[in-house]
Structure 1
C-alpha cells in the first residue's frame, strides 16, 4: 500500500537560513523593495556548492525545490505536484509541476538528478553532501565505493522523480526543502560547469527572484522572476542587498533609512549598540535552532585527549559571554541540541559541571597521558572569522584559559572564504564555529558528527556507539522513544566533548517599523515575498 501526500500535510520545520524581513517602497515609484545587508559576498550562488549561511540565504531567493516552508512552519509541495510514499517508507515518487527556468527552459526531474549526483561525485566540493546520505548508496558514491548510477535517484521521465532511501527517514521531506536539494539547470551546467560563478546569460533561476546586477563587494540586486510559477503571490519587485563587512556601518545605514532590515544570521548588530537598541525597544529576538561553539581538532595533539578537551570546555564562563558580550538573552549552551528543537517533554540529558580545581586536575592528567607539557603545546591558536562577536568571545576565553591553565593562546582572524576553507580542511587547532539547522529534528545536529570524513564535521571526531545509536533511530517509529534514543547520542557528544558548547542563538534583528506580514519561524526561516510597507 502507498501513502499519497499532498499540500500542507508534511509537518516539520526547516531552517531556510534567510535572515531578512523588511520592505520599503521606492518613493518615486510604486515598486515594493526590500534593502538588506550581508556581512560578506555569498561565497557561492550555486546550491550544490553551498555550505554557509550567506550563500544559503541568496540561494533561497533565487531557487526553489520539491517542497518549501510555509508560514505555519510545515512543509508543502513547491515544484512537486504530488508525492507518493511506499509502504516500507523508503521510496518517494515526486510528480513535478510544469515550471520553467528564468530562460524559459523547463525544469525537469533530470535537473534534480544532475544536481544531487554532482554533489555526490567523489571529487566535487559539496560541503552539504552528507545531507543526501539517507538516499540509497549516496554515501558510498561520495566515498568512491560505488558508481553514481547505483545511487537511488532516478528520473523516469521529465516530470517523474523517484528517490529510494537506505532506510526510513522521518525528516526526508523537510530535507528536500533545504537549498542543497534544489535543482540546477542541467541544460546549461553540463556544458558550462562554472555557470553560477558570475551573473550573466548562463545564470538562470527558478525561484521568486533573478539577478539583475551584482557588483562584488558592493551590491547584489534581485528582481522578481517573471517566469516563477507562483509569481502572483510574490509582493516584492526588488531586493537590494548591500555588502557591508563592518557592523557599525550597516547600523548607521539602517538608522539613515538606507537599510530596512539588519540582523542575524547574514549580518551583525554591533554588540556595543545592543544595550541602546534594547532600551529603545527596537531589538527583536526569538529562539533559533542555531548554536555557537569551539571545534577542537581531535586529530591534533593535545586535542586527541578527551580530558584536555573537557578541561578547556568546562572552564568557559558561558553566562558571562551571553550577559556581557552577546547580550540578547541567549541560552548558555550546556547541551548539544538547541532548546527550540527539544521535542521530548522530559529530557534525560544531565549536563555535568566541573569546578575550576577539577578542570585543572583534568588538564594535568591529560598532559601526562600525552607526555606533553604546557610549554610544548603553547601557543594554541583559536581561528575565527572577521566578526565582532567571535573576536570578543575568543579574547574572553583565552584570558580565562591563561588564568586557569597558564597556557598561551593566540587568535587568528581570517576572511570568510579562507575561514571556511580552514574548517573544511581541518587546518586549525581550535575554531569558532556556528551551526544553523536545516530541518526541525535533533538528527540535524547529530548527523553532522556521525562520520569524521564529513566535511562539516570540523572536529574530525567519530565514535562507533554514536553511529550505532543514530542508525537505530531510523527504525523507532514511536516519537518519544525515538527522541529519548537520540538523547543517548547527545550524551556521548557531551562526554567525549569534540567541541566546546558556548550558547544557543536567539534570532536577533531590527526592522523598519512600517513593515508588515513578516514571518520568521522559530528555527530561523524568513518569508518575505508577501511583506508590505504601510
Structure 2
C-alpha cells in the first residue's frame, strides 16, 4: 500500500532517519513538548501515543518501517516464509541490550507470550490474533505452549500463523511487538518505573532522565546496532499540558516543533501564526469519534445510535477545527481515514441528515418502549484532546439539541480517567481519538472483530462483520480492500461509534534550527520550507 503508518511516529521518524548537521561546538539536541506523562515505558502495556513515543526510542523489533515507504529488517538479519505463508522463521542479528547482554529469540517469545497471558494487563493482544492460538490463549482456553510463537534457539524465532496475514510485517514494526529483556523483567519487575541500571533497552536511545510530570530526556544508546540511520545525540521532552504555553515556548525558541501528535497549535492562534511562520499540513491517519456502549440503554438500539450520528453537522466541526475546508474527505462519513486505504474515499451515510435522524430516533425509542427522558441520565465524557475540544463538544451538544430536541450532558475528564472509563466500559458515551498503529484499514476494523478485544470499547460485534474480516486475510490488493469496505459498511450501518472527522497534521518546525529536521507524518518525511513568511 502507498502509506506506511506507524502510530505516533510523527516525530520518531525524524529521530531515526535524518542526517543531523552537528555544529562543531554544540551537541545536537532536539527539544519537544508533550501534553501528558507517558502511562508506561513498557512496550507490552502502552497504547497511548505518549507511551508509544517512548517505546520507539528505547526499543526495537524484528523489522522497522522507514519514511521512504520501505520496510527493513532491524533486530532480524534474515527470514524465510513457508510456501503456505503460515510459518515465518526469523534469524536475529548479534545485537545487545544496553547492559551489553545479547538480545535473544527467547526475549521475543516470552515478551509476546506475556501479552497473551489471560491475566496480563495489555491492550495490544488483539494485534496478535492472526498468530495460531493467540486469541484462545488470551481467553485462557489453551496454554501458551500451544501459541505459534517459538524460539528454536537464542537466534531463531518461528512464528506460526493460524491464517495468512498480508500485513504481518507492518504489525511487526509496531511497538507492541518490541521485546523486553526477560531475565531482567523477571528479576526486576518494576524496571519500567524509573531511570537506572535496570532500565534495559535495545533501541537507539537510553532513558537518561525522567522527572514525573515534568521532563523525559533520552540520550543516544552506544550499544545500539550499527546502522546508516543517524540520530540526534539527545532528545528532551518537556511535559506541558497547556497548548498556549507550548506555543509561547516555541516562539521563544525553547521548543523545536509544534503541531505534531504530541502537541497542538491553539486554533485561535493560527491566523497570526500564518503571518510569521511557514505552516505545513499533511494527511494524518487519525479519526475523532464518539464511542457508544452498546450494552447500555438506549445505545443497545442501532436506530438510536444512527440517529445521533446522522444528526451531526461534520462540516461545522471541521470549520472550528482549523483544518482545510477544501478537503471534503476529512468529513467522517466513513470509518477509515482515506490515507489508510490508498485514498479511496467512500461515504457510507449522508452527513447532517436531520430528517432521517428524527425518524430513526422515534422508531428506536418506540422499539425500546422509552421516551426522550432516557437521555436525562446520559453523560458524554471527553478529555482535552486539543485546545478546541471543549468547543467541539459544546457544538455537538447544541447540534443534537437543535436537530433532535435532546440535551445530553457533557463532562471533561483528565485524560487517564477518561481512557480508564472506556477500558472498564464504565460509560455510555465517550469521546476518543484513534491514530493508526500501522498502515492498514485493520487498525480500526480489527478491534471490533470480537467483544473480547480489549480496545473494543463499544462492546459490539457482528457475525457478518467478523466473516468479512476473516475473508479479507485470504485476499490481496483491490479485492481485499473491497472486502474491508464491505465490513466498514456493515459497521456504519449499526454505528457502534459515531465518526466525527478525520484529521490533518497542522504543524510548524523552527526554521532556525542548526540542523535539518524532516518531520515524519504517517508515511512521509515532510520538510517545510525554511524561513518566516
- TM-score category of the 2 structures, normalised to the smaller one: over 0.9
Separation in 2 of the partners of 1:492 and 1:29? 60
Separation in 2 of the partners of 1:311 and 1:113? 46
1:495-514 matches, cutoff 5 A: 495-514=493-512
Deviation for aligned residue 1:294:
0.7
Alignment of 1:384 onto 2:382: yes
Aligned equivalent of 2:268, options 252, 267, 272 = 272
The Cα offsets for residues 34-85 of structure 1, whole Å up to 9 and x where unpaired, read as: 0001100100110000111111111111111100011312211011100111
Decide whether aligned partners of structure 1 residues 327 and 348 sit closer, same or farther in structure 2, where only a CA change above 3 A counts: closer
Aligned to 1:220: 216
Deviation for aligned residue 1:18:
2.3
> Residue 69 of structure 2 contacts residue 523 of structure 2 at CA under 8 Å; is this kept in 1?
no
Aligned to 2:360: 362
- Look up the SS of the partner of 2:193 in the other structure: coil
Alignment of 1:317 onto 2:313: yes
> Residue 293 of structure 1 contacts residue 434 of structure 1 at CA under 8 Å; is this kept in 2?
yes
- Look up the SS of the partner of 2:388 in the other structure: helix
Deviation for aligned residue 1:111:
0.7
> Residue 36 of structure 1 contacts residue 240 of structure 1 at CA under 8 Å; is this kept in 2?
yes
Deviation for aligned residue 1:244:
0.2
Deviation for aligned residue 1:194:
2.2
Separation in 2 of the partners of 1:203 and 1:367? 55
Deviation for aligned residue 1:275:
2.5
Aligned to 1:148: 144
> Structure 1 length as normaliser, TM-score?
0.92
Alignment of 1:122 onto 2:118: yes
- Look up the SS of the partner of 2:420 in the other structure: helix
Decide whether aligned partners of structure 1 residues 206 and 130 sit closer, same or farther in structure 2, where only a CA change above 3 A counts: same
The Cα offsets for residues 464-497 of structure 1, whole Å up to 9 and x where unpaired, read as: 00000010111124x1111111111010011111
Deviation for aligned residue 1:445:
1.7
> Residue 10 of structure 2 contacts residue 521 of structure 2 at CA under 8 Å; is this kept in 1?
no
Separation in 2 of the partners of 1:436 and 1:375? 35
Greater shift, 233-242 or 409-418, is seen at: 409-418
Alignment of 1:472 onto 2:455: no
> Residue 16 of structure 1 contacts residue 60 of structure 1 at CA under 8 Å; is this kept in 2?
no
Separation in 2 of the partners of 1:297 and 1:490? 19
Deviation for aligned residue 1:525:
7.4
Separation in 1 of the partners of 2:289 and 2:352? 18
> Residue 3 of structure 2 contacts residue 340 of structure 2 at CA under 8 Å; is this kept in 1?
no
The Cα offsets for residues 196-225 of structure 1, whole Å up to 9 and x where unpaired, read as: 122222111111111111111111111100
Aligned to 2:9: 18
The Cα offsets for residues 327-383 of structure 1, whole Å up to 9 and x where unpaired, read as: 3556111111111122386x6764345631221121111111111111232142111
Aligned equivalent of 2:133, options 137, 146, 150 = 137
> Residue 93 of structure 1 contacts residue 160 of structure 1 at CA under 8 Å; is this kept in 2?
yes
- Count of paired positions: 519
> Residue 290 of structure 2 contacts residue 432 of structure 2 at CA under 8 Å; is this kept in 1?
yes
Aligned equivalent of 2:46, options 41, 45, 50 = 50
Deviation for aligned residue 1:522:
5.3
Deviation for aligned residue 1:11:
8.6
Greater shift, 437-446 or 153-162, is seen at: 437-446
Decide whether aligned partners of structure 1 residues 431 and 28 sit closer, same or farther in structure 2, where only a CA change above 3 A counts: farther
Separation in 2 of the partners of 1:263 and 1:63? 25
Greater shift, 16-25 or 76-85, is seen at: 16-25
Separation in 2 of the partners of 1:379 and 1:275? 40
> Residue 333 of structure 2 contacts residue 348 of structure 2 at CA under 8 Å; is this kept in 1?
no
1:68-83 matches, cutoff 5 A: 68-83=64-79
Aligned to 2:296: 300
1:91-110 matches, cutoff 5 A: 91-110=87-106
Decide whether aligned partners of structure 1 residues 429 and 326 sit closer, same or farther in structure 2, where only a CA change above 3 A counts: farther
> Residue 169 of structure 1 contacts residue 474 of structure 1 at CA under 8 Å; is this kept in 2?
yes
The Cα offsets for residues 504-528 of structure 1, whole Å up to 9 and x where unpaired, read as: 1112221111456544455367799
> Residue 5 of structure 2 contacts residue 285 of structure 2 at CA under 8 Å; is this kept in 1?
no
1:162-181 matches, cutoff 5 A: 162-181=158-177
Aligned equivalent of 2:479, options 478, 481, 487 = 481
Greater shift, 507-516 or 262-271, is seen at: 507-516
Separation in 1 of the partners of 2:523 and 2:250? 21
> Residue 260 of structure 1 contacts residue 512 of structure 1 at CA under 8 Å; is this kept in 2?
yes
Alignment of 1:458 onto 2:460: no
> Residue 379 of structure 1 contacts residue 407 of structure 1 at CA under 8 Å; is this kept in 2?
no
Greater shift, 62-71 or 273-282, is seen at: 273-282
> Residue 16 of structure 1 contacts residue 524 of structure 1 at CA under 8 Å; is this kept in 2?
no
Separation in 2 of the partners of 1:180 and 1:160? 20
Deviation for aligned residue 1:30:
1.9
Deviation for aligned residue 1:166:
0.7
> Structure 2 length as normaliser, TM-score?
0.92
Decide whether aligned partners of structure 1 residues 130 and 61 sit closer, same or farther in structure 2, where only a CA change above 3 A counts: same
> Residue 313 of structure 2 contacts residue 352 of structure 2 at CA under 8 Å; is this kept in 1?
no
Greater shift, 152-161 or 433-442, is seen at: 433-442
Decide whether aligned partners of structure 1 residues 26 and 415 sit closer, same or farther in structure 2, where only a CA change above 3 A counts: farther
Aligned to 2:491: 493
Q: What value does the CA root-mean-square deviation take over the aligned residues?
A: 2.4
Deviation for aligned residue 1:231:
6.2
Decide whether aligned partners of structure 1 residues 112 and 474 sit closer, same or farther in structure 2, where only a CA change above 3 A counts: same
Identify unmatched segments of 5+ residues in structure 2: none
- Look up the SS of the partner of 1:155 in the other structure: strand
Identify unmatched segments of 5+ residues in structure 1: 1-9
Separation in 2 of the partners of 1:56 and 1:348? 30
